[in-house]
Amino acid sequence: MRAGSPRLLREINDRAAIEALLRNGPLTRAELEGIIGLSKPATAQLLTRLEEEGTVLRDGLRGGGRGPRAQLWTVNGALAHVAAIALTPDAVDVVIADISGATITEHRAPMPRTGVLEAFHSAVTKAAAQAGLTTDALHHVVVGSPGAVDPTTGRLNYAPHMPDWENKNIPEELEALLDTPVTVENDVNLVALEEMIAGRAVGVRNFVLLWPADAVGAAVVVNGVLLRGATGGAGEIDAMRVPDRAHAETGTDRAGSRYGDLLDSASVARLARAHGVSARSGQVAVEKALSAGPAGREFLVDLARRVATGVANVVAVLDPELVLLSGEIAQAGGTTLADLVAAELRRLVVPRTPVELALVTGKPVRSGALHSALSVVREQVFGLPAATTEPFRGPNQQGATAPGTST
C-alpha cells in the first residue's frame, strides 16, 4: 500500500461516520458500526479520535431492557452555523441552525417598500442575536428570492414585484451587510432542491416544478442538476405568452395572454366567479371549488386548462420524467387539480408526463435554503459531497468551486 493510504482510509471512514450521524441523529457505537461496516475496535477508535478533535460529542445514554445503557454519539453542532432566508415582497423569514441541522431560532419581519437592505440586515441581525451570534459568525447564508440573479452583474431580474431591489449587486451587497458568505438562489429552485432531498423528486433525474402564483415560477432539473440559463432566468415563465383556453369568459386576451396574468390570485378568483364560485382569493376559490359540486368542478377544469397550456410548452421542449405542482393554489387543489392538469396536458403534447402534487409543504423555500446552506458548510468543514447545484455566490466566494462541479 502507498504511504498515504492509511490516512486516506481514516478520512473516508471519518466522513462515513459523520454522514451517518448527520443523517440518522445520535447513534450508539454498535449502531454506527452496523451502518459504516467497521469492526467494533475500529469504530471505537474512530469515535475516540473524532471526540478528541471536537467533531463528535457524547449525547446521553440509550437505555431500556435488561442490558446496560449504551453511550450515544452526535455531531458537534457548534462547529458551524448557517442562516436560511425566504425573501418575499412582504417579509423576510429567517431560520438559524447549527451544522447538525438543529434549528436554533426563527425570526420573521415585515419587508418595507423602501429601505429593503436596512430591513433585511435588521432582521438577520436580530435572528443571529436570538441565537447568541453575530452575523459574521454565520458560516454561510442562503437567501431564497423571487426572480433570478444574473451571474454576470449580480442584479435581480424577473422580479418587478420586488421594489427597491433592482439595480443592486444583491449577493455583493448582502455579503457586505452581513460580513459573511451569501448565496442568493431563486425561490422555486430551492423548492425543487427540497423535493429532490425529501419530496416526490427523490431519485428523479429530470423534472419540472411549477409554482402557480402572482408571479408564476418554474424550476427545471436536468440530469439531477438545476438548470439556470445564461442570465439565471431558466424557468422564469411568468411573462411567457399563452392562449387562454378556459371556457369561461373573464376578459382575457384569448390569442395570447401573459402566463402570470392567467394564474395570479385575482385572475383565478375571477375565473371562479365566472363559474359561480365566489371567493376573495385564488387559493380560497380553489378550496371552495372542491366541495362546490358541478360548478366547482367546471372551474377547476378551466383552471387546469390554463395551467396545462403553459406547462405544455415546457414539456414539449424538455420531455421531463415528472411535473410537480407546488405553492398555495396547487396545494389547495390537491391531487384533484393535479389529475385535471395531467388530463389537459395529454391533449396538448405527445409525452405522457405524470403530474403530481409536490410533497414538501409548510415553508419549502426556507427549507430548501437551509439544506443548501448546510450542504455548502458540511463540504467545507467535513469534506462531505455538496448538493449538485451551482448557485450564484458573492465576492467572498469568488474562485471557489461551486457545489457539484470540479476544477
pLDDT tens-digit profile of 256-276? 889 999 999 999 999 999 999
Question: Looking at residue 68, what is its pLDDT?
Answer: 78
Question: Looking at residue 67, what is its pLDDT?
Answer: 65
Distance of alpha carbon 134 from alpha carbon 83, whole angstroms: 11
Amino acid at 372: S
pLDDT tens-digit profile of 317-354? 999 999 999 999 999 999 999 999 999 999 999 999 99
Instruction: State pTM to two decimals.
Output: 0.89
CA dihedral 88, 93, 94, 99 (to 10 degrees): -80
CB-CB neighbours of 63 under 10 Å = 9
* 141: region left, alpha or beta (phi > 0 left; psi from -120 to 50 alpha): beta
On average, the pLDDT of the chain sits at 92
User: Would you give the end-to-end CA distance of the chain in angstroms?
Assistant: 28
Kindly report which listed range (3-7, 211-215, 304-308, 358-362) carries the lowest average pLDDT score: 3-7
Residue 273 in grid coordinates:
366567479
Write down the residue that cell numbers 392538469 correspond to: 341
Residue 338 in grid coordinates:
393535479
Question: What residues pair up with 142 in beta bridges, in sequence order?
Answer: 84, 183
Q: Rounded to 5 degrees, what are φ and ψ at 163?
A: -65, 145
Residue 310 has pLDDT above 60, yes or no: yes
Residue 394 has pLDDT above 80, yes or no: no
Domains present along the chain, CATH in parentheses: 5-75 (1.10.10.10), 79-191+364-397 (3.30.420.40), 202-357 (3.30.420.40)
Q: Rounded to 5 degrees, what are φ and ψ at 142?
A: -115, 130
Q: What is the mean pLDDT of residues 380-396?
A: 64
Q: Rounded to 5 degrees, what are φ and ψ at 349?
A: -135, 160
Could you tell me which residues come within 8 angstroms of residue 74 by beta carbon, excluding any fewer than 6 positions away? 21, 25, 26, 27, 56, 57, 59, 100
Residue 399 pLDDT level (bands cut at 50, 70, 90) = very low
Question: Looking at residue 3, what is its pLDDT?
Answer: 47
Residue 393 pLDDT level (bands cut at 50, 70, 90) = very low
Kindly report which listed range (64-78, 124-138, 238-252) carries the lowest average pLDDT score: 64-78
Distance of alpha carbon 384 from alpha carbon 119, whole angstroms: 34
Could you tell me which residues come within 8 angstroms of residue 230 by beta carbon, excluding any fewer than 6 positions away? none
- Are 38 and 13 in contact by the 8 Å Cβ rule? The answer is yes
Residue 64 pLDDT level (bands cut at 50, 70, 90) = low
Q: What is the mean pLDDT of residues 8-17?
A: 93
Question: Looking at residue 217, what is its pLDDT?
Answer: 93
What string of H, E and C letters represents the secondary structure of 67-88?
CCCEEEEEECHHHCEEEEEEEC
Residue 2 has pLDDT above 70, yes or no: no
Q: What is the mean pLDDT of residues 114-120?
A: 96
**Of 189, 270, 203, 196, nearest to 232 (Cα)?**
189
